[in-house]
């Protein structure tokens, strides 16, 4: 069960790189959307090394509103790094992540919150329409479909950063050790309850993307190499195909050599050596790749699994190996006694329903 929205703190996280022209309007709309929801707000702007006065504008906003926080990075580190910095500083029960260029309509928050309240931990926007140039649209669509087809973990198609993420999922995403980060992939990787909602992607307010084509290309490579071993598999396939070619050539050249007079001196051995070592090369590369992939996995140290919830696990202290069931029961009882003692020590306490302990508690149905 989620709390009532007026008890919820929503943190909006916005990476900013030279967006001075739109910051006042952006702030008004994001803050307005959170206010409309009835929740409390925190807005974390990450100034990713802007040099157009965005940083100063953000500082002014922070001076006027104590729920606005600004993280100034020491230089331009790129979109994904800025998003990571923002998530790391978000303290809300739920984080609303969006770009600062008006492509992600803050008003979508209302629909996202409905899903969060229904129990979803991650609500991501699926961009049904993109107002970009045709070639960009084709490349984006191709990339998303290719990644979806080859990725080892299913990454939702046409979903970018724009999303609403529950605090515990934010924590898990931050804990992942990947240095090259593709947030839509990491967000999908951690699991929990996720749902996509259709959102129209709006045009950029100034038609000048801050992420360069080179940046997009690097992000696409990060996405593919972080979430798929398919490129390696291609080499394995090439190796097997080359082995097949070698076997065919071996039969053909040996036949020519032994049973016909077609083979010129040196031809058989040359063809056999070249095709044999060609196949061995490709297979060798794919084998080395298998080790590299394992080293990569070991180094980035993603957890083997994440727990959503555990049933009948009453406290890690009592779930140790080597304890008998009776000892466990004794341990649980001790835990309960400790907890009760702690409550007594911290009087005046507040009851679960929020009433101070000084008031006589109402007797429940069981009393
Ligand atoms: N951005 C950033 N650092 C960068 C590039 C972009 O923080 O080095 C921010 C930018 O201000 C915007 C968001 O990341 O809020 C997305 O940038 P852009 O609109 O250029 O990306 P696109 O929508 O083309 O993917
Ligand atoms: Mg944009």
Segments of the chain assigned E as strands: 9-16, 40-47, 68-72, 94-97, 122-129, 159-166, 194-200
Nearest-atom number in ligand 1 for the CA of 19 is 11
Strand partners, 356: 350
- The alpha carbon of 333 and the centre of ligand 1 are apart by a number of angstroms equal to 54
Phi (first) and psi of residue 3, to 5 degrees = -70, 165
Nearest-atom number in ligand 1 for the CA of 46 is 7
For tokens 């050596």, the residue is 273
Instruction: Please give all residues whose beta carbon lies within 6 A of any atom in ligand 1, as ranges.
Output: 15-17, 19, 48, 76, 78-79, 82, 99-101, 103, 204, 209-211
SS3 126: strand
Nearest-atom number in ligand 1 for the CA of 103 is 23
Order of strands across the sheet with 159-166?
68-72, 40-47, 9-16, 94-97, 159-166, 122-129, 194-200
Nearest-atom number in ligand 1 for the CA of 82 is 7
What is the Cα–Cα distance from 47 to 184, expressed in whole angstroms? 21
- Which residues are near ligand 2, the ion (C-beta closer than 5 Å)? 99, 101, 103
What is the Cα–Cα distance from 203 to 101, expressed in whole angstroms? 9
Q: Which ligand is nearest to the CA of 84?
A: 1
- The alpha carbon of 98 and the centre of ligand 2 are apart by a number of angstroms equal to 10
- The alpha carbon of 16 and the centre of ligand 1 are apart by a number of angstroms equal to 7
Ligand 1: residue of 139, 211, 216 to mutate (most ligand atoms within 8 A of CB) is: 211
pLDDT in tens, the chain (367 residues): 888 889 999 999 999 999 999 999 999 999 999 999 999 999 999 999 999 999 999 999 999 999 999 999 999 999 999 999 999 999 999 999 999 998 999 999 999 999 999 999 999 999 877 777 888 888 888 888 899 889 888 888 888 999 999 999 999 999 998 988 999 999 999 999 999 999 988 888 888 888 888 999 999 999 999 999 888 888 899 999 999 998 998 898 888 888 888 878 887 888 889 888 988 998 999 999 999 999 998 999 899 998 888 887 766 677 777 788 888 888 888 888 888 888 877 766 555 565 655 544 444 444 3
- The alpha carbon of 102 and the centre of ligand 2 are apart by a number of angstroms equal to 7
With the C-alpha atoms ordered 355, 357, 359, 365, is the resulting torsion angle positive or negative?
positive
Q: Which of 132, 35, 46, 39 is nearest to 85 (CA)?
A: 46
**What angle in degrees, to the nearest 10, is found between the helix axes of 79-89 and 167-175?**
130
Nearest-atom number in ligand 1 for the CA of 78 is 8
Q: Which ligand is nearest to the CA of 99?
A: 1
For tokens 């919820």, the residue is 8
What is the Cα–Cα distance from 269 to 254, expressed in whole angstroms? 9
What is the Cα–Cα distance from 222 to 299, expressed in whole angstroms? 16
């Amino acid at each position: 069960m989620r709390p009532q929205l007026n008890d919820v703190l929503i943190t909006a996280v916005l990476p900013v790189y030279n967006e001075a022209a739109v910051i006042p309007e952006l702030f008004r709309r994001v803050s307005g959307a959170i206010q409309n929801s009835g929740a409390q707000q925190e807005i974390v702007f990450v100034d990713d090394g802007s040099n157009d006065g965005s940083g100063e504008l953000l500082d002014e906003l922070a001076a006027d509103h104590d729920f606005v926080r600004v993280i100034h990075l020491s230089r331009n580190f790129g979109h994904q790094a800025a998003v990571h910095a923002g998530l790391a500083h978000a303290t809300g029960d739920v984080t609303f992540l969006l770009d600062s260029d008006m492509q992600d309509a803050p008003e979508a928050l209302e629909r996202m919150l409905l899903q969060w309240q229904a129990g979803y931990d991650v609500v991501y926007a699926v961009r049904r329409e993109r107002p970009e140039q045709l070639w960009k649209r084709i490349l984006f669509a191709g990339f998303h479909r290719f990644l979806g087809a080859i990725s080892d973990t299913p990454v939702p198609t046409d979903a970018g950063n724009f999303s609403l993420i529950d605090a515990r999922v934010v924590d898990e995403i931050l804990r992942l050790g990947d240095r090259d980060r593709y947030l839509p992939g990491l967000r999908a990787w951690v699991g929990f309850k996720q749902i996509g909602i259709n959102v129209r992607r709006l045009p950029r307010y100034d038609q000048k993307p801050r992420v360069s084509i080179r940046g997009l290309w690097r992000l696409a490579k990060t996405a593919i190499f972080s979430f798929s071993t398919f490129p390696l598999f291609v080499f394995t396939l090439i190796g097997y195909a080359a082995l097949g070619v070698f076997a065919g050539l071996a039969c053909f050249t040996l036949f020519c050599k032994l049973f016909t007079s077609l083979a010129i001196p040196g031809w058989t051995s040359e063809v056999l050596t070249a095709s044999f070592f060609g196949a061995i090369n490709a297979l060798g590369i794919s084998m080395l790749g298998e080790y590299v992939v394992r080293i990569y996995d070991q180094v980035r140290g993603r957890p083997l699994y994440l727990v959503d919830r555990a049933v009948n696990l009453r406290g890690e202290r009592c779930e140790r190996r080597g304890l008998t069931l009776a000892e466990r029961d004794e341990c649980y009882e001790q835990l309960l006694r400790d907890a009760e003692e702690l409550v007594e020590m911290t009087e005046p306490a507040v009851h679960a329903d929020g009433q101070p302990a000084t008031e006589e508690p109402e007797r429940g149905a069981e009393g």
